[in-house]
Amino acid sequence: GRVREDLIKQFPFIKDVTISKNLLESSANVSYAPRQAHFLWCKNESCFLVDKEGIIFESSDIIQTNLLVSVNDIYFQDVLVGKKIPFLYVSGMLAIENFFTSRGLKLRVFLIKASFSLYAILEPGVEARFTMQKPIEEQLEKLGVFLSSHSPAYIHKLMYIDLRVQDRIYYK
């Protein structure tokens, strides 16, 4: 009920709360499940831990890690503990991450530079440019066709692959 909701709201690192009452002993037992960090979200000089639901639940002194997906954000204004990253971006990043992982490609970092722009930087530095104004799945499908028709050595020499224009792929 209300106590559960209040605890989750007051402590953003809590994902779920279970409260059990023992009326005979006039006691209650409260247990919680913590949020699991998936993204290290950095805005200016501040970094935060963010889960797969987009909840910003903790400040972080870490500025780089291989254990979490890094995001460098120069667009969103309201990046604070307790806030939520828009679902469109979180779901898009998860889909892109899964796409690259399933193909054995290493994702270095996501960049959010402007409204509706999402860049995925791969090792060794190839930039995949996406727009949030079109379904990510369609852009990933185009990218899949492109990747399957070029050798990994060729892909690694590219500077960028731009998927933001309808029915086109630009690359250099």
The pLDDT assigned to 6 comes to 87
Residue 100 tokens read as 């690259």
**SS3 assignment, position 108:** strand
CA gap 58, 21 in Å, rounded: 30
CA gap 17, 4 in Å, rounded: 6
Residue length of the chain: 172
The stretch 38-67 carries a mean pLDDT of: 89
CA gap 141, 77 in Å, rounded: 31
The residues that bridge with 38 in the sheet, in sequence order, are: none
Q: Which of 18-32, 46-60, 74-88 has the highest mean pLDDT?
A: 46-60
User: What is the band of 114 on the pLDDT scale with cuts at 50, 70, 90?
Assistant: confident
Measured in whole angstroms, the distance separating CA 156 from the mean position of its chain's CA atoms is 23
The pLDDT assigned to 2 comes to 87
